[in-house]
Each structure stands twice: as structure tokens, then as C-alpha cells.
Amino acid sequence: MTGHALLIDGKKVAARVVEDVAAGARALTARGVRPGLAVVLVGEDPASQVYVRAKGKAAETCGFHSVQHTLPASTGEADLIALVDRLNADPAIHGILVQLPLPGQIDAGRVLERIAPAKDVDGFHPFNAGLLAVGELGRALVPCTPAGSMILLREAARDLGRTLSGLEAVVVGRSNIVGKPMAQLLLAEHCTVTIAHSRTRDLAAVVARADVVVAAVGRPEMVKGAWIKPGAIVIDVGINRVPADGLDKNGKPRTRLVGDVDFESACANAGAITPVPGGVGPMTIAILMQNTLTAAERSAR
């Protein structure tokens, strides 16, 4: 039962973005510059391995020059930084992505700051964060998940016959990866923005004011349907694995993916909502490809 909410299909939109990127990559390659993406994986975290494989596959679909560097979990910070320096200097590489999380002996902040801002396709470098903060969206590389969420939000607003300008938006979550950049992007669309989080007093009342709710807090089904203003657009960034009934074919307890929003109850009130999975998730990799193409195009100017 999905109430009357419009379901926002992230897979469909992501496929369109990837198609556009592939066309742009063909045009750029014809001018003698083939977009190049280097992905660096340290250690053997299973979730990271899945993400890295998906990123490599998407890069090949787009016709990019795609390189993966897999380093042992024991790799030291100096060795990882030396690799980043080599990739910074490599003219065939336009985008560098160091998969997070990194092992404990490595300071992720120092590594991410070492990536040349022009090749920072994750958008995590303080230089790109600064450009976004001062509203220079045309010069920044914007973090992939918020950028993808923004495309879905714009499409949903258009489908509902609304304009984002002047709407009240609440972002639940204040991470540097999603919450803060999402707030900057919403400000750029002329929304009135509140950043809420786990310490917010009466979170339910804050969310209930919102015409746009972006949930990025990392807690399964924390945002309840009763909190959602009727007709609000809900973008659920959360991906949480929770227990499900029964056992899988290997005899292990089943799990299922849920978002940060209680989807079933939210559908009764929301005007539009992203499902989990199949909402924001597919957009993240699509925007990574878009950012890599953008970085390559800028290098070719």
C-alpha cells in the first residue's frame, strides 16, 4: 500500500543521466580527450568492494578510461598519499575517488585533501565544499548523493506542478557528505532551509513544517509518516540493513534494506517519495560519472 504518493524512480532517472554522460564522453573522446576515472580501494570491506565494482562498471558503460587500485588493509598513509600524488600528476586521469571508509591507521581527511580539487569527483575537498558554500555551483564539483537527490527533487516538484523557490525544506542529518551540501543546494534553489539532527528538540514538529524533507541521518525508519506534512516531497537518502523474516538459501537470517523514513506510513501523507532501494542510491553513481565527465571537459578547455 503506497497511499497516494508519487513514487520517484531513481533507477529511471539515473539511467538517463548515464546515457547523457556516455554521449558527452563520446563527443569529448572524439576531440582527443577520453574521460579517465581512478578508484582507490584500501582493504577488503565487502560493502566497499560492491560499490567499487559498480563504479567501475558504470565507468565502462560511459566509455571512460577506468582504473582501479586495490591496496592491502595494512597500507600506510604515506603510501596512499604517494599514489594520490601520482594520480594527480597523470593527465589521463580526470577523476580520483578514494573509497571510504579507510582503515584506522590512515587519516581520511588528509588523504581527501591531497586529491587535486579539479579531480575531486566525490566533491569532498574543502576547496569544493567552499565553492558550494559561497554559491559557486558552476565551479564546484558537488558531492554525488546530494546532487543526485536534487535532480530527483526537481523532477518530483515539476511532476506535482510546483516550483521549489520559497518552499520550506528540512534536512535531517548534518554530515559533510550529505546533510550540509544538501542544505547548500536547497538554498541555491531559493528554499528556506532548516538543518535538523539527532539533538534537535521536537524533531517531529520541525519536520511537520516542511514542504521538502530530506532524510540523511543513518537510522532505520526514524522519520515517521505522521511527521510528514500532507503533500510534502520526501527524499530518503538512508540505506539501512535490518532483520527480515526467515532464513536465506544459505540458512542465514534474512535482511532487507530500509531507508531513514518509515516508507509505508509516509506514503499516506507524502506528495512524492523516493523508495529504498531504487531511489537516491542509483543516482549517486550516475552523478559520479557526470562529475568525472565535467572534470574531463574542464581539463580540455
Q: What is the mean pLDDT of the chain?
A: 96
What are the tens digits of pLDDT across the range 19-72? 999 999 999 999 999 999 999 999 998 889 999 999 999 999 999 999 999 999
Q: Identify the active-site residue in 49, 79, 119, 122.
A: 122
Classify residue 26: in a domain, yes or no: no
Say what the pLDDT of residue 198 is: 86
Residue 262 lies in a domain: yes
> Is 57 noted as a catalytic residue in this protein?
no
Catalytic position from the list 55, 119, 180, 229: 55
36: which strand partners? Answer: 65
Q: Looking at the structure, do residues 86 and 177 belong to the same domain, yes or no?
A: no
Q: If pLDDT is split at 50, 70 and 90, which confidence band does 15 have?
A: very high
Neighbouring residues of 294: CB distance < 8 A, sequence distance ≥ 6? 141
User: Which domain range does residue 276 map to?
Assistant: 143-281
> How far apart, in whole angstroms, are the C-alpha atoms of residue 50 and residue 55?
9
Q: Is residue 122 part of a domain?
A: no
Q: Is 227 inside a domain boundary?
A: yes
pLDDT single digits (tens) 235-250: 999 999 999 999 888 8
Whether residue 243 is found in the same domain as residue 147: yes
- CATH number of the domain enclosing 46: 3.40.50.10860
Rounded to whole angstroms, the Cα distance separating 102 from 178 reads 18
Evaluate whether residue 171 is within a structural domain: yes
Tell me: do 39 and 103 sit in the same domain. yes
Q: Is-contact 273 231, C-beta < 8 A?
A: no
Number of domains in the chain: 2
Whether residues 210 and 260 share a domain: the answer is: yes
- Cα–Cα distance, 77 to 79 (Å, whole number): 5
120 is catalytic: no
147 and 49 in a common domain: no
Residues 42 and 148 reside in one and the same domain = no
Which of 11, 45, 85, 99 is flagged as catalytic? 99
Q: Are residues 165 and 245 in the same domain?
A: yes
pLDDT tens-place string over residues 67-96: 999 999 999 999 999 999 999 999 999 999
pTM recorded for the entire structure: 0.94
Q: Is residue 274 a part of any domain in this protein?
A: yes
Per-residue pLDDT, averaged over 142-148, amounts to 98
Residue 186 is assigned to a structural domain of this protein: yes
148 has a pLDDT exceeding 90: yes
**CA-to-CA distance for 263 and 224, rounded, in angstroms?**
8
pLDDT of residue 153: 98
Angstrom CA distances, 256 to 118, 225, 243, stand at 38, 20, 6
Q: Are residues 165 and 241 in the same domain?
A: yes
* 122 counts as catalytic: yes
49 plus 100 within the same structural domain: yes
Domain CATH number, residue 277? 3.40.50.720
Residue 97 maps to a domain: yes
Residue that finishes a domain, picked among 102, 117, 132: 117
Over residues 8-25, the mean pLDDT reads: 98
Same domain (yes/no): 67, 111:
yes
- Going by pLDDT thresholds of 50, 70 and 90, the confidence category of residue 3 is low
